Amino acid sequence: MPSAYEKFFPKPSFYPNQEEAMDKIYGALLAGRLVLFEGACGTGKTLSALAPSLAIGREKNKKVIIATNVHQQMEQFIQEAREIKAIADIKVAVVKGKTHMCPLEKDYDECNLLRENTFELLELERDIVKLKQKDGEAAKMRGDPGYADLRRSIAGEVMAGQDKIALLKKRSCPYLMAVMKEDNTSFRDWLFKGVRSPEDITEEALKKKQCGYELLKRNLKEAELIICNYHHLLDPDIRMRMLTWMGCSLSDVILIFDEAHNLEAQARSHSSITLSENIVERALMEASSVKSPSKEGIEYFLMLLHKTIRDAYQSKIGFGEAMTYSWFDVTIRDPRGTEDMLSQKIKAEMQKRGIDIMTVLGDAIDIGLDIDEAYRNEYKNGKSETKRSSSLLAVGVFMMTYLKEAGKVDYYPVLQARRSRDGMIYGRIELFSCIPTDVTKPIMEGAYSVVLMSATLKPFDMVRSTLGILRETAELSYGTTFPPERRRTLAVDVPPQFAKNRYMPDMVKSLTQLLEDVINGSDGNVLIFFPSAAEASRYSKLLKVDVPVFVDLAGVSAQDTKNEFFKHGDGGGKAVLISYLWGTLTEGVDYKFDRCRTVVIVGVGFPSLNDRMMAVQNAYDTKFGVKKGWEYGVLFPTIRRIRQANGRVVRSPEDYGLRILADRRFTMESVKDMARYSIYMQFPEDERKEFKDIKPDKVKFSMMNFFTDIKRMDEMPKKKKGRGQG
């Protein structure tokens, strides 16, 4: 008997393990459990999660939301939703941010005010129509004693209304007005007849000079599947608005997070907050213009805050650092401590003056709210060309949160500074979130169910701890099922890339020779990941090869660089792309077939062990136990990143490629020779058993043998394949 989810499975047959995965996910969702799902690249994870989720959605009247933080994955979701749509009549909506779909290119606040004015304009136009009807009826009363007064009164109201209409039209949205005035049934039919991308929606709406975002919003209640990015779920305000448009609560939703190994970092960025020195300066200007009994205390606090920020970075930055255009950190708290210099100084100075800091902040917020409302009305009424926000309100809210949270282990306060393009140095305070469970826990607890999936999700205990998962989970893990003879992983016994030896001439020479051997021996494009962007740039200048070398550099579009690299492979040539482990090209990019035949990971590539990372480790140690800081904060994220980089080659059963791990710590021998420095055992067993220890001078021969074997295999008569997904 067919399973309930098979009606949503568009392929003629299953990949190995795919049917089993769907069975387990279906059972877990039926019971309301969360699912932790790790599956190798190209094994059909998306459909394995989507098909049972849609089946449960139909059975239990739940909506399904699938989210990613990778643009390419969004495109894949749309394509797979179209395949499902072809066999099952599901209604799909793809959601993108308002600013990306706004025909007027307004930001969120401006758009909201234009929206309010548009509603007011429509209501006023209706009132004018009613007044004119009333005037027509009054004309029949000619000769009555009050006739003239009534006609004059109506005429005055019409004139005043028309004047206001003229003003509102300058501050309203004609695209929204067109949505409100027309019957949009045809758009709804068009939307759900297929699976439309945000670009499709915008283009279709503009044909009638309408707002595509507003049209999409109005039809979300009917959608069974919503495709969006992480931001729509991690930001609590945006999540609540989207759920309102969907006509449901979080408990009515099955959430699927793709690339879920990134969820913690994304949640951390959502829960970290900043306050710039420029906003403090603008807040001081606002405070000086108001009349209030608390004005003196607010102004003193703002001047003190501004001076404290400037003194902190001016006393600690060196000349070289001061010249940079990028933000750099200035330590204001011991990463393992609780008291920061900024709070201590401000509290002490305020106490000397006998001023209660919390009272001052409360007053600043109250005044800021009034100023914010005045700015809002200025823009709404056409008296200002831009929508301003109160800086005093921003400072008050930030500092209220800062003083409450800065001493907690979950947060790390840090000062940052940089030089602007006009040559001025300025700073900002950041309240950096070490453990963002305040963002993720409500989602994990509140949703009907959640599926977290990734090619590198393990270890599952880390996922449960760092995301605040307390509910029962179903845990699934499937390695690659692609033919093992079409891939090879070489763990090359070169000296470890420690900071103390990476610049030694012998080390540089031997590594350069290894990379040149790999490039010359590869049967196509070569992708190389270094521990850092600086190392990537340095070695790109040392390599002497006869093929184009592309480098992923800061300030240059990584996507453009990647596409140029692809052109050589797709055209039957060979090129080299040099990047770094923590860059944007490590994951979410499909280097299929000739786009990449060999990937090299140089060194282990731990993230910069700076004060932030120490604060994260301290938070994990405190929350989850000693040594968890190193494991959760540094080791496991690095292993995940290396596994993601390794997964850039061999993307399908017919694909082939080489993976080269250039550092002794990857070798099996390092377990006994290097003890705690070895990372061999940190990889999943099914992956590490494929590692083949090899000396550097033997790599070129191993590569030649591998590619020769592949050529021989591909020249043999093709066997009939039964996988059927293409």
Q: What is the DSSP letter of 423?
A: S
Verify that 307 and 373 share a domain, yes or no.
yes
pLDDT, tens only, 430-447: 999 999 999 999 999 999
List helix spans (H) across 481-610.
Answer: 505-521, 533-540, 558-570
H or E segment and range at residue 348: helix 341-352
> What is the separation of C-alpha 698 from the centre of its chain, rounded to a whole number of angstroms?
42
pLDDT at 150: 64
Verify that 122 and 216 share a domain, yes or no.
no
Q: Give phi and psi for 659, each to the nearest 5.
A: -120, 125
Residues 6+ apart with CB under 8 A from 719: none
Q: What number of CA atoms fall less than 13 Å from residue 451's CA on the CB side? A: 37
- Of residues 347 and 321, more confidence is placed in 347
In whole angstroms, give the CA distance from residue 362 to residue 400. Answer: 8
pLDDT, tens only, 181-192: 889 999 999 999
Closest CA to 661 of 632, 631, 641, 636: 641
Summary mean pLDDT of the chain: 90
User: 576-580 and 549-551: which strand pairing?
Assistant: parallel
The DSSP bridge partners found for residue 330 are: 415
Say yes or no to pLDDT of 536 above 80: yes
pLDDT at 143: 60
Say yes or no to pLDDT of 721 above 50: no
pLDDT, tens only, 625-681: 988 999 999 999 999 999 999 999 998 889 999 999 999 999 999 999 898 899 999
User: Among all chains, which residue has been given the structure tokens 């592949």?
Assistant: 710
Say yes or no to pLDDT of 1 above 50: no
Average pLDDT of 387-409? 95
In whole angstroms, give the CA distance from residue 252 to residue 107. Answer: 30
Say yes or no to pLDDT of 376 above 50: yes
Say yes or no to pLDDT of 449 above 70: yes
- Of residues 145 and 360, more confidence is placed in 360
Helix 174-181 vs helix 108-139: crossing angle, to nearest 10: 50
Say yes or no to pLDDT of 320 above 50: no
Say yes or no to pLDDT of 2 above 80: no
The DSSP bridge partners found for residue 413 are: 431
Cis (ω within 30 of 0) for the bond into 198? Answer: no
Verify that 420 and 314 share a domain, yes or no.
yes
pLDDT at 133: 75
Average pLDDT of 368-389? 88
Say yes or no to pLDDT of 152 above 90: no
Q: What is the DSSP letter of 635?
A: I
pTM of the full structure = 0.90
Q: How many helices (H) and strands (E) does the chain have?
A: 30, 18
List helix spans (H) across 272-340.
Answer: 277-288, 295-314, 319-322
CATH code, domain with 389: 1.10.275.40
Average pLDDT of 279-284? 96
In whole angstroms, give the CA distance from residue 327 to residue 323. Answer: 11
Coil vs helix vs strand at 144: coil
Q: What is the DSSP letter of 607?
A: P
pLDDT, tens only, 4-50: 899 999 999 888 899 999 999 999 999 999 999 999 877 789 999 99
> What is the separation of C-alpha 252 from the centre of its chain, rounded to a whole number of angstroms?
24
Tell me whether residue 1 is in a domain.
no
Largest CA distance in the chain: 112
pLDDT, tens only, 479-520: 888 899 999 999 999 999 888 888 899 999 999 999 999 999
Residue 139 pLDDT level (bands cut at 50, 70, 90): low
Verify that 388 and 428 share a domain, yes or no.
yes
In whole angstroms, give the CA distance from residue 117 to residue 94. Answer: 27
pLDDT at 317: 62
Tell me whether residue 513 is in a domain.
yes
Q: At 594, which amino acid appears?
A: D
Q: Given 478, 510, 535, which residue is the final one in a domain?
A: 478
pLDDT at 481: 85
pLDDT at 318: 55
Verify that 611 and 665 share a domain, yes or no.
yes
Tell me whether residue 130 is in a domain.
yes
Average pLDDT of 608-629? 92
Q: Give phi and psi for 137, each to the nearest 5.
A: -70, -35
CATH code, domain with 94: 3.40.50.300
Tell me whether residue 505 is in a domain.
yes
On whether the CB atoms of residues 632 and 465 are closer than 8 A, the answer is yes
Percent of the chain clearing pLDDT 90 (strictly above): 71
In whole angstroms, give the CA distance from residue 197 to residue 532. Answer: 36
The DSSP bridge partners found for residue 529 are: 579, 601
Tell me whether residue 84 is in a domain.
yes
Tell me whether residue 222 is in a domain.
yes
Verify that 667 and 536 share a domain, yes or no.
yes
Helix 295-314 vs helix 391-405: crossing angle, to nearest 10: 70
Verify that 692 and 705 share a domain, yes or no.
yes
Verify that 535 and 660 share a domain, yes or no.
yes
Q: Given 449, 478, 507, which residue is the final one in a domain?
A: 478
pLDDT at 154: 66
pLDDT, tens only, 574-595: 999 999 999 888 887 889 999 9
Q: Given 157, 172, 187, which residue is the final one in a domain?
A: 172
Verify that 569 and 598 share a domain, yes or no.
yes
Number of compact structural domains in the chain:
4
Range of the domain at 316: 273-435
Percent of the chain clearing pLDDT 70 (strictly above): 94
Verify that 442 and 430 share a domain, yes or no.
no
Tell me whether residue 188 is in a domain.
no
Tell me whether residue 659 is in a domain.
yes
Average pLDDT of 109-130? 83
Residues 6+ apart with CB under 8 A from 431: 272, 273, 274, 398, 401, 402, 405, 406, 411, 412, 413
Residue 158 pLDDT level (bands cut at 50, 70, 90): low
Q: What would the two tokens of residue 643 be?
A: 């596994």
On whether the CB atoms of residues 128 and 162 are closer than 8 A, the answer is yes
Verify that 306 and 237 share a domain, yes or no.
no
C-alpha distances out from residue 76 to 132, 482, 695, Å: 55, 20, 40
pLDDT at 59: 95
Residue 257 pLDDT level (bands cut at 50, 70, 90): very high
Verify that 233 and 371 share a domain, yes or no.
no
In whole angstroms, give the CA distance from residue 515 to residue 511. Answer: 6
